[in-house]
Structure 1
Amino acid sequence: MDSTTMTITPTPPVPTVVRGDSAVGISQARQAARAFADHLTPAPDPDMADTLVLVVSELVTNALRHGGGRYTLRLSAGPDTVTAAVSDPSPAYPRERTPDLDGGNGGFGWHMTRHLATHLTITTGPGYGKTIHAQLPR
């Protein structure tokens, strides 16, 4: 009887790009992140996929709210990582805010993103604006 060993080689899907300039764009970004994770081979851990969707949601929301009202989301994957890169037209870096525990005015997103991402970088330009790169383990 022959024994066969099957090896699954990680294959990254084609990078995904989503642009938005309204609250509807937040839902579109979440859906794109979920679809991107669902098409990774091998499939990621469900918790990682949920984390990716949460990080994308927070970064896109912050871009719309604090970064000039529009964003470009780029999703990519390597053998060991998944990266969500969100660009917006504001050159201002994110800043820590004390979360509003009573009034519902936010302040949680940047804290959460910093906690969930294994590697977080911010680059400026080209031109005006910035891109936040959040890397997660695959």
Structure 2
Amino acid sequence: MYAENDPRTTYEQRQWFCRLDEDPAAVITARALVGTVLAGWDADLVEDAVLVTSELVTNAIAHGDAPVTLTVTVRKEPEPTVILEIADASPELPVQDLPGEVGHFGLWIAEELARLTIHPTTTGKTVRAEFVLFDQPAGSASGVIG
């Protein structure tokens, strides 16, 4: 696992990165990273972000191609936002199945909890989940996010 606060980011935005495809505990690693980054934030946000992370990373590992990466971005402007980006090298875009079919809830859950977008790239695709925050936690500007 590789995770760090990117030194090129500004005080207004912090970013962490993790490569997951070589990690046998990829979903656990991804959940831990998101939980650590969001420690001190609203419990409902943390719970939603960790669940969305689980679903999207599971999909990328099961249906995508290596490399599979997770990038967590917390930015303060124009409004406080947490962004989860799960990228993989498969050009095939995810397909949302109807809820109720066993094992086909991932995208539906993510869309219910976050603003979900899918971006084809020259190297595969990125699934992006955004959580816009209306209230920052006390002390967030002093190190909780990075």
For the criterion TM > 0.5, the same-fold answer is yes
Structure 1 residue 137 corresponds to structure 2 residue 137? no
Q: In structure 1, what is the Cα distance between the partners aligned to 2:58 and 2:125?
A: 15
> Which structure 2 residues correspond to residues 57-96 of structure 1 after superposition, within 5 A?
57-68=54-65, 70-79=67-76, 80-96=80-96
Judging changes above 3 Å, is the alpha-carbon distance between structure 1 residues 58 and 70 closer, same or farther for their aligned structure 2 residues? farther
For the aligned residue pairs, the C-alpha RMSD in angstroms reads 1.9
Q: In the TM superposition, what is the alpha-carbon distance from 1:74 to its structure 2 partner?
A: 0.3
| CA distances 1:34-59 after superposition (whole Å, capped 9, x unpaired) | 00101xxxx42111011111111111
- 1:46 match: 43
Judging changes above 3 Å, is the alpha-carbon distance between structure 1 residues 36 and 13 closer, same or farther for their aligned structure 2 residues? farther
Counterpart of 1:47, as a letter, is D
Q: In the TM superposition, what is the alpha-carbon distance from 1:15 to its structure 2 partner?
A: 0.8
The partner residue of 2:123 within 120, 123, 128 is 128
- Identity fraction in percent: 33
Between the two proteins, the alignment pairs up a number of residues equal to 119
CA contact (8 A) 1:12 1:76 kept: no
Q: In the TM superposition, what is the alpha-carbon distance from 1:99 to its structure 2 partner?
A: 4.0
- 2:33 match: 32
Structure 2 residues not aligned, in runs of 5+: 1-10, 134-146
CA contact (8 A) 1:37 1:44 kept: yes
Q: In the TM superposition, what is the alpha-carbon distance from 1:12 to its structure 2 partner?
A: 5.8
Structure 1 residue 56 corresponds to structure 2 residue 53? yes
Secondary structure of 1:63's partner? helix
Q: TM-score, normalised by structure 2?
A: 0.73
Which ranges of 4 or more aligned residues in structure 1 deviate by more than 2 Å? 11-14, 98-101
Structure 1 residues not aligned, in runs of 5+: 1-10
Q: In structure 1, what is the Cα distance between the partners aligned to 2:62 and 2:100?
A: 16
- 1:5 match: none
Q: In the TM superposition, what is the alpha-carbon distance from 1:100 to its structure 2 partner?
A: 5.1
Which entry has the higher C-alpha Rg, 1 or 2? Answer: 1
Q: In structure 2, what is the Cα distance between the partners aligned to 1:81 and 1:35?
A: 16
Q: TM-score, normalised by structure 1?
A: 0.77
CA contact (8 A) 1:13 1:76 kept: yes
